[in-house]
Amino acid sequence: MRNSEIGEIIQKDPGIAFAFYQLGILFPSHHELPVSGLCDKLNLDDQWLIRNLQELRKSDPLEWTPSNYNMPEVVNHLKSVHKFFIQEKLPFIFHLVNDIDPRSFDTQELARDLKMLFPLFYEDFVHHIRNEESQVFEYALLLHQVNENSGNPGLMHFLKSKVDLCQTAIEHLEEDDEMEGIRSLTNNFNCPEGASLIQRVVYWELEKFEKDLRRHSQMENDIFFPLAVDLEKKARKRLSKSLLEN
């Protein structure tokens, strides 16, 4: 790797462009330099760079092996994935899309449409995540606390008016495909033969993000919402019993 050009490395493995980005090395700024030349330019140890690139390339922030499925642990993991999406992955894709020269794509119209569409998707996605964390996650954590006798039961009625867990779970399961417009625009992320390196990386990252988003959504559908609905039922029974005893 030390003597290979960065563009050559990324051509073989488009996903490593994100690892360079995580180390503060923007693609495609240095794609014509060999790794050794980049290290000389930035005063980096080449073995350190190669080792960290390999570690980052193998890492998977969505991977999770829980010790047990309690709500605080589930929410912490989901929030960590949200943080990865919002603070790392989406800014990288935004950087790629924003810097596209339409002449570098197979059609300039497609490039211009993507440059217009992706920021709108990005904004809507962040808004969705913020609402989910501030309402649905907070309500679920309160339900956990009530069942642990450490939360204020009165807040349940206040938050319940904002969050209908069963309805939200159904809507989340049946919600429209968030990346449908981008997938359609890019022909299912099918990069044309002979496409430029920047187009290959953009398509690869968009497809990877969609796969990660589906994995994350599946975890919410299979783990978070069933657990939250069960906690709500238990909390209601606990409150009903408490009222009868008093």
pLDDT per residue as tens digits for the range 46-78: 999 999 999 999 999 999 987 778 999 999 999
Residue 1 lies in a domain: no
Q: State the amino acid at position 76 in one-letter form.
A: N
Which has the closest alpha carbon to 209: 88, 44, 71? 88
Q: Report the percentage of the chain scoring pLDDT > 90.
A: 68
Same structural domain for residues 186 and 144? yes
Task: Concatenate the DSSP letters of all residues of 108-166 into one string.
Answer: HHHHHHHHHHHHHHHHHHHHHHHHIIIIIIHHHHHHHHHHTT-S-THHHHHHHTT--HH
Same structural domain for residues 46 and 109? no
Those residues with Cβ within 8 angstroms of residue 40's Cβ, 6 or more apart along the chain or in another chain: none
Residue 233 has pLDDT above 60, yes or no: yes
Residue 154 lies in a domain: yes
What integer is the mean pLDDT of 212-228?
Answer: 93
Q: Do residues 103 and 172 touch, judged by C-beta distance below 8 A?
A: no
- Between 14-28, 95-109, 140-154, the lowest mean confidence (pLDDT) is in 140-154
Residue 31 lies in a domain: yes
Same structural domain for residues 166 and 95? yes
Same structural domain for residues 89 and 207? yes
pTM here?
0.89
Same structural domain for residues 11 and 82? no
How much is the pLDDT for 215? 93
Question: How many structural domains is the chain composed of?
Answer: 2
Same structural domain for residues 96 and 126? yes
Residue 63 lies in a domain: no
Same structural domain for residues 129 and 214? yes
> Is the Cα torsion angle 14, 128, 143, 233 positive or negative in sign?
negative
Top pLDDT among 1 and 99 is at 99
What integer is the mean pLDDT of 131-140?
Answer: 91
Same structural domain for residues 123 and 187? yes
Same structural domain for residues 75 and 112? yes
